[in-house]
Structure 1
Amino acid sequence: MSSGTERVRLAVYHGFARTGRAPSVPELAALTGLALDEVRQELHALHGSHDVVLNPQDNDQVVMAHPFASVPLGFSVMGATTLWWGGCAWDSFAIPHLLQDEPDVLVATRCPACDTPHAWVIGRDAPPQRGTQVAHFLTPMHRAWDDVVHTCANQRLFCSTDCVDTWLRRTAQERGYVMDLGTLWRLARDWYTGRLEPGYTRRDPDSAFAYFAEVGLHGSFWGLPD
């Protein structure tokens, strides 16, 4: 990654972390000392490497820089003074692990099946208390970047497996992967470690598969044995 690309990446991520929103192209230019066209070029490079997701209708807009989102996708994440949109269940649970100045956050959402509101205080020390709620991920990991916004919008939290089944029948979708909140918390805990630091690189497939197995996932959905 070139020095300009890395400067833009860090400016995007630190902007999200600090304010809860994506910096604009002019803001990124001011933060990095790059010209506007250079910022746009670097954003395209970051989009190509899956470090950010740009709006296909407006390439100046950063839609996602996981675990942050600039559009509502079903989750709000409230810190001490900042409100973020969580990109999905996974990302929402990851935010307090990434932001060391936030010992915990309030993650709020609604069940897609019955619209029941849910909220959890998510911290770094332990998963939320066990209940009937579950996470359902619709898209297998090998297809996640085919349409990453759709993938994230369908990583949701439900009241129970019964609500998952109700939603799948109503939407004519095939079941993806269901996990309890403890597994979701473990998945989120270290996935983005280092993302706010200079020189961060995304996990390669082998290290990603090893991480998935370590936190208790299994099956072809994750590229793992059953």
Structure 2
Amino acid sequence: MPEKMVERNRKSQAPMNLDVRRDERAKPDSSLRLFIYRHFIRKCKAPSIAEMVKGAGWSRKQVDTALRRLCESHAFVLQENGELWRAAPFSAVPTAFPVKVGNRSCYGNCIWDALGIPAMLAQDARIDASCGCCNLEMTLNVNRGRLQGARGIIHIAVPARDWYKDIVFT
């Protein structure tokens, strides 16, 4: 039974195919995605649309179109003004999940994403988070890819199948 539910949800919520070997349309999207992630990794902040236009050598319309397609993958979410809000696991806006990696600080969108940043970068990190319901401060340390001395529970109240119905709430 659970296998059928997982398969049904996978099919109904399937993200866009970003495999550039099979989808010619994805090639420019892939180069923009790479530009965005490299920018986040170097600067711990999102590139602006203007920086994407300049970095990609594209028109604003081309960047907007590629960003809309990247958003179909659910890894990217735009703000109302068209600027990046999220390129998972990074948040382009300050959140309650700051991640200190080396001498840089960036933000995760949630605790799950915050833990994904040191995993993605293969670096040690400190995450100064707080509980969403009671505001209790929590410090998490990741050392050599492992969460150190952590006690507690990560409570994900929204089922994964529903995350993208309202990703900001989730």
Q: State TM-score, norm by structure 2.
A: 0.79
Q: What corresponds to 2:110 in structure 1?
A: 88
Is the partner of 2:164 in helix, strand or coil?
coil
Shift of the 38–121 alpha-carbon distance from structure 1 to 2, 3 Å rule, reads same
Q: What corresponds to 1:127 in structure 2?
A: 147
Is the partner of 2:78 in helix, strand or coil?
strand
Aligned pairs for 1:93-172 within 5 A:
93-100=115-122, 103-131=123-151, 133-151=152-170
Shift of the 69–130 alpha-carbon distance from structure 1 to 2, 3 Å rule, reads closer
Aligned counterparts of 1:21 and 1:125: Cα–Cα separation in 2: 22
Is the partner of 1:9 in helix, strand or coil?
helix
Q: List alignment gaps of at least 5 residues for structure 1.
A: 152-226
Aligned counterparts of 1:28 and 1:49: Cα–Cα separation in 2: 19
Aligned pairs for 1:60-99 within 5 A:
61-99=83-121
Shift of the 50–115 alpha-carbon distance from structure 1 to 2, 3 Å rule, reads closer
After TM superposition, give the deviation of residue 128 of structure 1 in Å: 2.0
Q: What corresponds to 1:23 in structure 2?
A: 47
User: Are the counterparts in 1 of residues 140 and 150 from structure 2 also a CA contact under 8 Å?
Assistant: no
User: Per chain length, whose mean CA-contact separation is higher, i.e. which structure has more relative contact order (CA < 8 Å, sep 6+)?
Assistant: 1
Is the partner of 2:94 in helix, strand or coil?
coil
Q: What corresponds to 1:7 in structure 2?
A: 31
After TM superposition, give the deviation of residue 116 of structure 1 in Å: 2.6
Aligned counterparts of 2:135 and 2:167: Cα–Cα separation in 1: 24
**1:90-130 CA-partner distances (Å, limit 9, x unpaired):** 11111111113xx2011001223433322121134422214
Say what the alpha-carbon RMSD is for the aligned residues: 1.5
Moved over 4 A (4+): none
After TM superposition, give the deviation of residue 80 of structure 1 in Å: 1.2
Is the partner of 2:139 in helix, strand or coil?
strand
Q: What corresponds to 1:166 in structure 2?
A: none
Aligned counterparts of 1:112 and 1:52: Cα–Cα separation in 2: 23
Aligned counterparts of 1:141 and 1:125: Cα–Cα separation in 2: 24
Aligned counterparts of 1:79 and 1:95: Cα–Cα separation in 2: 9
Aligned counterparts of 1:50 and 1:130: Cα–Cα separation in 2: 29
Is the partner of 1:74 in helix, strand or coil?
coil
Shift of the 52–125 alpha-carbon distance from structure 1 to 2, 3 Å rule, reads closer
After TM superposition, give the deviation of residue 18 of structure 1 in Å: 1.4
User: Are the counterparts in 2 of residues 97 and 124 from structure 1 also a CA contact under 8 Å?
Assistant: no
Is the partner of 2:148 in helix, strand or coil?
coil
Number of aligned residue pairs: 146
Q: State TM-score, norm by structure 1.
A: 0.60
